[in-house]
Structure 1
Amino acid sequence: MLWLIRAGAYLFSGLTIWQFVQGGSPDMAVIQRHLALDQAHGMVFGVCAGFSSYTGLDVTLIRLVWTLSVLYRGAGLILYILAFLIMPVS
């Protein structure tokens, strides 16, 4: 079971990096995205919704990966609180 969580985390990070690499086209220069909390679409504090609007990935996928990271040694909870404290409100 642990290998499945790790494989999901590696897949998610690979997809995120691929999204950033592909986002370097000239069309993206016009659209400026900022990483910020999205409390209008968020469930708790809007961290996952903010990451979703920034990366363009589905918010359900981000919430699933974040939940799995919380269940794996609680690292996701610390990262969630840290992201909430650092990210500005949109």
Structure 2
Amino acid sequence: MIWLIRAGAYLFSGLTIWQFVQGAGTPDAAGIHRHLALDQSQGMVLGVCAGFSAYTGLDVSLIRLAWALAVLYRGAGLALYILAFLIMPAS
């Protein structure tokens, strides 16, 4: 079961890196700069995943799935989620 979670996490991280290489993580050509901030209006719990989704341009469901997998894998996702909430400014 653990190997399945690890394989999913590796696949998701590879897809995320591929998105950045393809240019989805760069600011728009119109000069609009994105800032990493909490998006509490679109968020389910604290707005961390919605903020990452707005920043990267990835679907919020993929971001939430990555956080859930990180929580299941040694609980690191929960600590990272709380840390991200404390560090990220509100939008």
Which residue pairs with 1:13 in the alignment? 13
TM-score by length of 2: 0.86
Which residue pairs with 2:75 in the alignment? 74
Which residue pairs with 1:44 in the alignment? 45
Larger helix proportion of the pair? 1
User: What's the RMSD between the two structures over aligned residues?
Assistant: 2.0
Extract structure 1 runs of 4+ deviating beyond 6 A.
Answer: none
Distance 1:51 1:26 in 2: 14
Distance 2:47 2:27 in 1: 29
Mark the runs of 5 or more structure 2 residues left unpaired by the alignment. none
TM-score by length of 1: 0.87
Mark the runs of 5 or more structure 1 residues left unpaired by the alignment. none
Distance 2:17 2:60 in 1: 17
